[in-house]
Structure 1
Amino acid sequence: MRNLSSIRKTFLDFFQKREHKILDSSSLIPHNDPTLMFTNAGMVQFKNIFTSQEKRSYKTAATVQKCVRAGGKHNDLDNVGRTTRHHTFFEMLGNFSFGDYFKERAIKLAWELLTKEFDIDCRRIVVTVYDGDEEAFNLWKKISGLPSNKIIRVAGKDNFWSMADIGPCGPCSEIFFDQGEGYLGGLPGSSEAGDRYLEIWNLVFMQFEQKSQKERCILPSMSIDTGMGLERISAVLQGKTDNYDIDLFKTLIQASEQITGVKYKGDNIINHRVIVDHLRSSSFLIADGILPTNEGRGYVLRRIMRRAMCYARLLGYEDPLMMRLFPVLCSEMGSAYPELIQAQLLIEETLKVEDMRFRKTLDKGIYLLDEVSSSLEKNAILDGSVAFKLYDTHGLPLDIMQDILWARGLGGVDVASFKQSLEEQRSKARSHCLGLGEKITEKIWFSLKEKYGTTKFVGYNIHHGSKVIEGDEKKSDYSLFQKPSVDFTQGIPAIVKAIVLQDSIVDVARAGQKVEVLFDQTPFYAESGGQVGDTGIAVGEGVSLQITDVQKKVGGIFVHHATIEHGVLRTEMPIILTINYQDRRQLSINHSATHLLHAALRTILGPHVSQKGSHIIPERLRFDIVHSKPITREEIKFIQDHINDVIAQNYSIITRIMNIDDAIASGSSALFGKKYSDKVRVVSIESDDGRVYASELCGGTHVSSTGEIMLVHIVSESAVSAGIRRIEAVAGQRARSYLVEQDEKLRSLASFLKVQSSNVVKRVEEIWEERRELHLINAKHKLKLNVDDLSCHTIANVNFMSHVIPDADFKELKGLIDMLQKKIKSGIIMLIGVSKEKKASVVIAVTQDLIDRFNAINLVRLSAKVLGGSGGGGRPNMAQSGGPDGNKVDQAIANIVSFLKNKIEK
């Protein structure tokens, strides 16, 4: 029996032998399509080729593409587990032609792969063609020999594909597998529904361009885009009618059975399916750099993870199940997708932390579901908007809420209003996602790229005003520079190729106007890799420009944002470009320091650390990393010392141009989710004896040795979001200046406190402790003044006293308990402190004579749920808890009173 891995390999080998370029799967984060939440088809990475906005060195390709359909328009999440074929994550096999072969060869290749390589009985194959595409109909008949009744003409959208309302489009031909007479369903295109005919491959013939709703023309270069689900074709080749019965899922489900002790049968079939499916999508999304958050792609990931965690609870399993299953997935898929192995620690830590965090949320969600449904009469239906809030905020899946409500004799959830609320949320997520991808590149930059090609960057080797031009200096004609007033030593000569003013291409621009300028070559670095673009000036005959920013647009053209200071700027005029060398020098220092920081973090915190973002400006560097907990002061000191030790050893910083495969094989690190070209620039930090301290794929500017950095000082460490930490640092002369400033502040503070600089911390601690003691005395005084007025409820002969004290913390609350216990002798005391941020701290004490009836720990935990917290601890006679919602203190007190009444009356 062919396993899934061998089927994947057979597909790629088949097309490689037929002169197709075999490409890796692109990231699940679409690189060039901000309209997509996730990559959901094989053609996504080729979209710009299909629209003629990009050209590649090859005309045919084949891929196995990672896909996720769990957010936005393409969303299979709710169906997963309940059908045999829906998945949130799947692999899409595809072959592509960009103006090379068309219908005939596409059909030949498909037929040969299915019937020869995969050995599928041709009698079990049925195909459809677009009604009116007689060419495809005749080609299928000629190539396959299928009878006419198995080549079915289908009209409508199902057999005609378009990228959007405007753009490339064309008819489809779908290939179906006949599962046999034991299944219901008529031929494709018929009205007889059923699963007998299973779609396994879709061939798209891109031959038209939709100009408008009424106008469609033939493309000058016709293309092929095909897609076949690996899981579905594996089921066919393994003789299975259920995707979850193929070897990959079988292995994962067996592991889930073994860990949970629950068999894959009956009601638990759905539970196991959801868990193993969502494990795949969660793991691959994390490997591509997405982490669970409350917005955009991270929000969808959190929904997927928490849905799986809910189903794990239905199996009665309380520990982080997906974390324990991940090594099995890694073993099965890690050879095909090495990013799983590279990110293993990160994935396992993320799965574990999210599971631990969700436990508290899930408990509260079920508690709130109990609360909102308790007043409903038998067979009553819960408002869908209320259910959606529990789904959105607390992660309770709709189907689990339905099961809970039905078990209580209720009518379940109003699904229509739930879906309405869900669609509103998805619209927000989609609008957020539009800002995550690259901005849709304006047509103007595509046209300029086609006309002038890639901008030649000559700025890597410029330092302190020296001029080094890489490549052929004769590319442009600079003989127009005749006036002796132009100083060549102060900049790089260039030719103005295009001027854009207010989104229009112009030939002339004048003083005071803000323009975007394209030169044939430039020493100005364009913003990328976290490093901001260079600033500087441009001077020509009778004109000067202040360049404020440089951005890289499609195809590697550098767009210079500038203000014309004086004179007239014209296309094709010669000009001298001079960067701000002082800022460039500091940017290079900071960028090299960022590489040192990244390497030190991985060395000291662990290899799970990966870059989530950076921002490098002359004043400082900012670096965001994946790490699940705060970095301690001791760790920061180790990291800082480690970096400065490498600086002191004056390692060389070397750049090389390498093939991407060779660079990765050499150990150079690359950013998750970033798309790289075949040739990459590698920046390595190496000792004199060849030991590599750090090596990264990077296009930024750097100093030539670590000694030039002089010093790195970490200024701050903070949380950006769950699992993401941010480090800010200064380097070089900026670091020295920062430390001098800090020393001056310390000296001023020491003078103010009238102590030596070395005793400042000790004196501040003493003052802080004195303040706390005064605050406690003041609180006790206030309470003593009112102690006689405090109400003491008597509940069936048990005294109960409660009081809310603004700004009191746990220590202060416990200090006040003794005073009140002396007053009531016997009873229960509940004190709540509420901070200015509205966070609540609760302390409950039970006198010794009541401990056998009431436990303080149980009481504070009951309070915590109301206040938005969870847990609580202490001793049976005194315990503490808290929560973020201090506005509900009255409800928390009322809950305790109600609980005591019920218990005493029983």
Structure 2
Amino acid sequence: MYMTTAEIREKYLQFFQSKGHLRLPSFSVIPQDDPSLLFINAGMTPLKPYFLGKTPIFHTPEGEKISYRVTTCQKCVRTGDIENVGRTNRHQTVFEMLGNFSFGDYFKKEAILWAWEFLTDKRWLGLEPERIYVTIYEEDDEAFEYWTQDVGLPPERLHRFGADENFWPADAPSKGPNGPCGPCSEIYYDRGPEFGADTWADYYQTRESNRFVEIWNLVFPQYDRKDGGILEPLPKPNIDTGMGLARVAMVLQGVTDFYETDEFKPIIAKVVELSGVSYEGPSSLAHRVISEHARAVSFILSDGATFSNTGRGYVVRRLLRRAVRYGYLLGLREPFMHRLAAVVAEVMGGVYPELRENLESVQKQIRLEEERFFETLEQGVERLDALLSGLEPGDTLSGEEAFRLYDTYGFPLDLTLEIADERGIKVDTEGFQKALEEAQELARQRAAFDKDVFKRPNEALLAIARDSGGTVFVGYERTEETAQVKLLLAGNQSLDEAPAGTEVQVVLDRTPFYAEGGGQIGDFGVLEWAGGWAKVSTTQKNPDGIYLHLAKVEEGTLKAGTTVRALVDPHRRDTEKNHTATHLLHAALRAILGTHVRQAGSYVGPDRLRFDFTHPEPVSPRELARIELLVNRWIQGDFPVSYTYKPLEEAKKEGAMALFGEKYADVVRVVAVEGTADNVAAGTAISKELCGGCHVRRTGEIGMFVIRFEEAVSSGVRRIEALTGTGAVQYVRENLDVLQALSRELGVNPEGLPERLGKLQNEIKAREKEIERLRRELARAQLGGGTASALKEAGGYQYLAVRLEGLEVGALRSAADELLDKHKADLVAVGSGQNLVIKLSKEAQAKGLDAGAVMKRLTEAAGGRGGGKGALAQGGGFDLERAFAALEGALLSR
């Protein structure tokens, strides 16, 4: 029965809603509160706190809900095997994982029976029952009973495997890690003999098949593994399942691979349209890579990531460049991936609205990155040309050099092979593959799923979260509070007391200390009690809302249960100024540069503010001046700053700005600078953002705003650093002092500095030109007379070697041109000091002579370093006598 991908997705979610599951939208692919992961890589990953015992409270458009049954279609990213994408029918970087989850509610029997019902019932997928095969863990008799007796699956269509195949995590009983684990049951579907002649018995032996496709994995975390491989039953076992949406679509649509499913076809069709190359034969690999990576890049960028040289930004850059490389092989020489982003948004934007909402910004980022990479690709062509110019037909380009081209310039091996073959040169593909595998292994190690994903937090912290719901924060109203110490922690170990000199994390029942978040640093200050005090260096908050004060006991002994006086350092006032100024800066950037500007990161502390934002080009000095002036006008307006709590959807409808990828509760705090009465009447606030940070009460408290600098962070992301209040005044004063000192040194008023500096620059340029002229005259003076008699012959070429004194490389090139023209030689070598220039005539080039090849032979024979191609080569570090003596041999060895 044919079914579209959208229909499969919707049926799955509706089915589990009918079984009492709460349906949630996909979480962002960028993990929240989990620094161990670059991307969400499985459907259960965003839900793992609830598998660990946290109450499963979810914020939905209808309000806060508690549900121990959840179903999702989660977009996931896995990048450990990028090079296999397009080459196999199994690998994807971005995929959709359908899942149903139980947090200590139903268990194995329900999961198995519901899976069978959804797969075989004609109201749902209607798959043929006799084509379904199952694997279970070899010791899981319970699952065997449910499958064979309750479902009625014939035992010959069920196989038992060991812990390496049917346990999660794999091999957990023998190898760990400790924590929740359990057996799993995988469901396969027989697509028929047209997809392969192998049988289910063959799969049992090889575990590889195109005919039998795994479509669903039911995981039963029922044990808590302890040291020594002890498996203790969990008091409340869980259910975690994952069904690959693309694989199911492939089965129901009767196609060979997921590239032929309905959601991929429009993207591939666009690649065909842009390239003019049909989707068949060897070129189909390029179409698959481009279409898959177009989806991946669109999903990742639309969730708030940006191109960069590290972390997830590096991964998305690597994906884009791999796609562009394959586009280059199809003949595409202009940016094209940004056009595919529009197709992805059109096909999948109904399910994932962020693809459409952020399309303009995503396309701008992609186009800029493509333009830069096309330049790099051209540099790769030049680099390869230089490498090949030093080789003869029949020679071999090393695998290390080929991989360096690939790794540094993103230059594909296929293109290297094609260009090298045109010159009769081989490429060491085995050496390339070895270097690639070493790099891939490193990437896999970095991207490996964190085996400690279920590492248990401190039990005392969990108890506090259950009993009180977290720490009461009073820091918006005051910076001093009396509180009780609920817990002392050293690492993950609870302490009864902490004597002087101990570094400890202090949990209070209530606190005025702001916990690091939203770009604002954690508060610092002191805790005082009778007989002692501790210095708080920063404050953090865990996912359960418990504030952790990182402190060092300076005097006395701090004990659990002690009543303390918590005092935030007065510099918090400067942090508040900088935070409100950050909101004003954001508003000014959107007003001056355009509404495409959105926040991409920030730092707010007492010393300064830093704001990262999306913008495709440098901000001009004139634009920076306008932005700075606008922020200062709003400060001088002394406008009130309001703080209200509203339902999330209502706040968004009112235009409150939210950060991409940020999780918000159903009720949010809105920080607004309303502006004038006209602004209030029109409902057009100067700034309105969802924010939990600390702010001033009126903009006038900020005092002054000064931009220190603007710079690039990564492709499509800029950064502004600025100062406020006293810090801004001090910065201006210091710069004025420098300006006045320069003015005194140059004997002009500050207003006359630009003119004076301009004159000095012109004088320097004139002197440099005069020096260059004198050098050329020196060269001509040394060239007069008897150089013709120095002409020599070797290998059928006439050449000239001349040593001059006191010349730079530029003057040597001019001297070589003059000698070449004057004496009609085939080759001229001119040196001075340790520098050497080689120049060829057109006739010598026509005969096959190459300056770069000659230079290479000289470096091998006489030391030094250098390179070039065609008619010109140059280098340094030479013993010129040895180099000139080696010229004859270099020409004869051709």
Q: Give your verdict on TM over 0.5.
A: yes
Residue pairs, 1:693-842, within 5 angstroms: 693-789=686-782
Cα separation, 1, equivalents of 2:360 and 2:156: 55
> Relative to structure 1, is the Cα distance of residues 379 and 135 closer, same or farther in structure 2, using a 3 angstrom cutoff?
farther
Deviates more, 1:213-222 or 1:563-572: 563-572
Matched, 1:301 2:316: yes
Other-structure match for 2:204? 190
SS of residue paired to 1:251: helix
Shift in Å, 1:97: 0.6
Deviation per CA, 1:301-356, whole angstroms, max 9, x where unpaired?
A: 22221111111111111111211221111111122222222332332122222222
Match of 2:596 in 1: 608
Distance across 2 between alignment mates of 1:805 and 1:733: 56
Name 1:836's counterpart in structure 2: none
Deviation at 1:779, TM superposition (A): 4.0
Q: Which residue of 1 aligns with 2:471?
A: 455
Partner of 1:891: 867
Deviation at 1:383, TM superposition (A): 4.9
Structure 1 SS opposite 2:686? strand
Partner of 1:266: 281
Single out whichever of 344-353 and 394-403 deviates more from structure 2. 394-403
| Alignment deviations for residues 20-64 of structure 1 (CA, whole Å, 9 cap, x no partner) | 222232232333544434322101112222233665432111111
Residues 839 and 871 of structure 2 are in contact (CA less than 8 Å); yes or no, is this contact kept in structure 1? no
- Give the deviation of 1:819 after TM superposition: 10
Matches of 1:704 and 1:822, distance apart in 2: 75
Change (3 A) 1:758 1:844: farther
Q: Which residue of 1 aligns with 2:153?
A: 146
State the alpha-carbon separation in 2 of the partners of residues 153 and 281 from structure 1: 35
Question: C-alpha separation between the residues in 2 aligned to 1:198 and 1:177?
Answer: 5
Structure 2 vs 1, CA of residues 375 and 745 (structure 1 numbering), >3 Å: closer, same or farther? closer
* Cα offset, 1:154, TM superposition: 3.4
Identify the match of residue 587 of structure 2 among 580, 599, 623: 599
Query: Which whole-Å CA distance do the structure 2 matches of 1:85 and 1:513 have between them?
Result: 53
Contact 2:300 2:316 survives alignment (8 Å): yes
Q: Say which is worse superposed, 763-772 or 366-375, in terms of deviation.
A: 366-375
AA in 2 matched with 1:4: T
Deviation at 1:449, TM superposition (A): 4.8
Q: 1:824 to 1:845 in 2, by over 3 A?
A: closer
Alpha carbons 1:441, 1:553 under 8 Å: kept:
no
Residue 552 of structure 2 aligns to a residue whose secondary structure is strand
2:270 alignment partner in structure 1: 255
Q: Give the Cα separation in 2 of the matches to 1:806 and 1:520.
A: 77
Q: Which amino acid aligns with 1:51?
A: L
Residue in 1 that maps onto 2:670: 682
| 1:567 to 1:655, Cα distance in 2 relative to 1, 3 A | same
Task: Give the share of equivalent positions with the same residue, in percent.
Answer: 37
Report the equivalent of 1:25: 26
Contact 1:494/1:520 (<8 A) preserved? yes
* 2:536 equivalent among 539, 547, 571: 547
Q: Deviations over 1:767-815 (max 9, x none)?
A: 232233233333443454454346999897999999999999xxxx79x
The corresponding residue for 1:92 is 97
Provide the aligned length of Structure 1 versus Structure 2.
828
CA deviation profile, 1:333-385 (whole Å, cap 9, x unmatched): 12222222233233212222222222233234345456657888999876544
SS at structure 1 position matched to 2:135 = strand
User: In the alignment, does 2:70 pair up with 1:61?
Assistant: yes
- Does residue 15 of structure 2 align to residue 2 of structure 1? no
Aligned counterpart, 1:290 = 305
The CA distance in 1 between the partners of 2:763 and 2:390, in whole Å, is: 52
How many angstroms apart in 2 are the aligned matches of 1:315 and 1:780?
Answer: 50
Per-residue deviation at 1:98?
A: 0.4
The aligned amino acid for 1:745 is V
Contact 1:497 1:572 in 2 (8 A): yes
User: 1:448 deviation in Å?
Assistant: 6.0
1:645-684 matches, within 5 Å, as 645-684=633-672
C-alpha displacement of 1:395:
1.2
- Tell whether the 8 Å contact from 1:667 to 1:695 is kept in structure 2 after alignment: yes
Whether the 8 Å CA contact 1:382–1:414 is kept in 2: the answer is no
Asked if the contact 1:280/1:329 (under 8 Å) is kept, the reply is yes
CA distance in structure 1 between the partners assigned to 2:455 and 2:301 by the alignment: 23
Match of 1:875 in 2: none
2:62 corresponds to which residue?
A: none
Q: Partners of 2:829 and 2:755 in 1: how far apart?
A: 33
Paired residue secondary structure (1:158): coil
- Structure 2 Cα separation of the partners of residues 309 and 50 of structure 1: 41
Q: State whether residues 67 and 91 of structure 1, in contact with CA within 8 Å, keep that contact through their aligned partners in structure 2.
A: yes
Unaligned runs of 5+ in 2: 58-65, 171-175, 857-862, 875-887
Separation in 1, partners of 2:160, 2:658: 48
| Structure 1 residues 373 and 93: CA distance shift in structure 2, 3 A | farther
The answer on whether the counterparts of 2:800 and 2:828 sit within 8 Å (CA) in structure 1 is no
Alignment-derived partner of residue 485 in structure 1:
none
Distance 2:134 2:489 in 1: 51
Q: For the structure 1 residues 212 and 565, does the alpha-carbon distance in structure 2 shift closer, same or farther, using more than 3 Å as the test?
A: closer
Deviation at 1:752, TM superposition (A): 3.2
Deviation string for 1:176-206 (max 9, x for gaps)?
2221132322227522653222111111111
- The structure-2 alpha-carbon separation of the partners of 1:237 and 1:607, relative to structure 1 and needing over 3 Å to count, comes to farther
C-alpha distance in 2, partners of 1:496/1:21? 38
Which 5+ residue runs of structure 1 have no aligned equivalent? Answer: 466-490, 833-839, 868-886
- TM-score, structure 2 normalization: 0.82
Query: Distance in 2 between the 1:136 and 1:50 partners?
Result: 21
CA distance in 2 between partners of 1:800 and 1:380 (Å):
29
Q: 1:392 aligns with which of 396, 404, 407?
A: 407
* Aligned counterparts of 2:818 and 2:771: Cα–Cα separation in 1: 19
Question: Which of 106, 113, 137 in structure 2 is aligned with 1:108?
Answer: 113
SS in structure 1 at match of 2:318: helix
- Structure 2 CA distance, aligned partners of 1:276 and 1:190? 33
SS across alignment from 2:430: coil
Residues 285-313 of structure 1: per-residue CA shift (max 9 Å, x gap): 22233333333333322222111111111
Q: Hey, what does 1:126 align to over in structure 2?
A: 133
Instruction: Name which of structure 1's ranges 312-321 and 156-165 shifts more when overlaid on structure 2.
Output: 156-165
Secondary structure of the corresponding residue to residue 267 of structure 1: helix
2:655, 2:183 → 1: CA distance?
45
Letter in 2 for 1:90: F
CA 159–819 in structure 1, closer or farther in 2 if over 3 Å, else same? closer
TM-aligned CA distance change 1:589 to 1:135, over 3 Å: same
Aligned to 1:82: 87
Verify the 8 A CA contact 1:382 1:412 in the aligned structure 2.
no
Residue identity matched to 1:654 = S
Change (3 A) 1:561 1:851: same
Judged with a 3 Å threshold, the aligned counterparts in structure 2 of structure 1 residues 596 and 797 are, in CA distance, closer, same or farther, namely farther
Deviation (angstroms), 1:252: 1.0
What secondary structure sits across from 1:95 in the alignment? Answer: strand
Q: Per-residue CA shift, 1:473-531, capped at 9, x if unaligned?
A: xxxxxxxxxxxxxxxxxx31111222235764322333444333221110011111121
For residue 633 of structure 1, report the CA deviation from its aligned partner: 0.7
Deviation at 1:149, TM superposition (A): 2.8
Structure 2 residue 513 is matched with structure 1 residue 524: yes
Kindly report which structure 2 residues correspond to 1:377-456, keeping only aligned pairs within 5 A, or say none. Answer: 383-398=398-413, 401=416, 412-414=429-431, 417-423=434-440, 425-426=442-443, 429=446, 449=465, 453-456=469-472
Whether the 8 Å CA contact 1:405–1:412 is kept in 2: the answer is: no
Residue deviations 1:842-864 (CA, integer Å, cap 9, x gap): 99999xxx999999xxx99x99x
